[in-house]
Each structure stands twice: as C-alpha cells, then as structure tokens.
C-alpha cells in the first residue's frame, strides 16, 4: 500500500521512537539525526496532559530518554490524511504504546510542512495528543 509521504513519516518516526527509547539504536548524533531532520525548528507538541513543549525541549527530552524503556512497543494505526497540498499536510492517527505490560492509546493530530530535506519530504510542525481508552 502506498501512503502519502506525511503518513509514511508518522509510521517511520514512531518506528524510530520505539528503537530509540528501547535502546535498539546507538546513542549517537547520527542515529538521533533521524528525529532532528524530521522536525521543523518551530515544532510544538501538546501532550495528552495538555502540557505544551517546543522543539528544543522535545529534542532534549527524547534525546535524554534513550534506552530508558526496555521492551517498549510503539505503533500507529488508523492513519487519516485530513488535508494536503504542496505546502502542508494534516494527519490524524492512533498511537499505541505498550510498556511494562500496560497498553495506552492516544489520538493524535499532526501538522506537517513541506521540507525537501526531511526524511519523507515533510517536517513535523505541530502535534496535539489526547488520551483515548484502548478498545
């Protein structure tokens, strides 16, 4: 199945997160570049608790969390391309996490901006997450 590049970016970056947080990737600048190359300098994240983080804080948090979640599983489903043109794309998806035998789910909306240097041609500009009961 062929996905829009922004949907492929959702899948690919979450694959990176699972490997980074689980410790399957080395804690090197080269490995972490996958995250940095995919995020716009103006990136913001509103987590499911309502807290807002900006690009530098998110990068520091992810970088510092390397290998802190052995056995961690992370995947996305139900990808929907809500809007796309040559400048931006808006995607929703479910993000699933399994940690220490507990599965959580959040619904996320992500805004991407076209960025030729980004891994899939779109950079993450904004994400808003909301808790969702698995099931």
Q: Whole-model pTM?
A: 0.96
Let me know if residue 132 belongs to a domain: no
Count structural domains, the chain.
1
Collect contacts of 89-95 with beta carbons under 8 A, ≥24 apart.
Answer: 89/4, 89/5, 89/6, 89/122, 91/4, 91/6, 91/7, 91/10, 93/7, 93/10, 94/132, 95/14, 95/129
Q: What is the CATH number of the domain that holds 102?
A: 3.10.450.50
Let me know if residue 115 belongs to a domain: yes
What is the extent of the structural domain holding 48?
Answer: 5-127
pLDDT tens per residue, the chain (135 residues)?
468 999 999 999 999 999 999 999 999 999 999 999 999 999 999 999 999 999 999 999 999 999 999 999 999 999 999 999 999 999 999 999 999 999 999 999 999 999 999 999 999 999 999 999 876
């Amino acid at each position: 199945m062929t996905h829009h590049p922004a949907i492929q970016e959702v899948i690919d970056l979450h694959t990176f997160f699972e490997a980074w947080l689980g410790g399957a990737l080395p804690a090197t600048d080269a490995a972490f570049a996958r995250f940095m190359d995919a995020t716009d300098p103006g990136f913001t994240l509103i987590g499911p608790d309502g807290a807002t983080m900006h690009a530098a804080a998110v990068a520091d948090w992810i970088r510092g969390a390397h290998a802190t979640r052995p056995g961690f599983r992370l995947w996305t489903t139900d990808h929907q391309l809500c809007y796309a043109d040559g400048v931006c794309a808006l995607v929703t998806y479910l993000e699933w996490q399994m940690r220490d035998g507990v599965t959580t789910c959040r619904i996320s909306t992500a805004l991407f901006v076209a960025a030729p240097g980004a891994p899939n041609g779109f950079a993450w500009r904004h994400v808003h997450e909301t808790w969702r009961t698995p099931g």
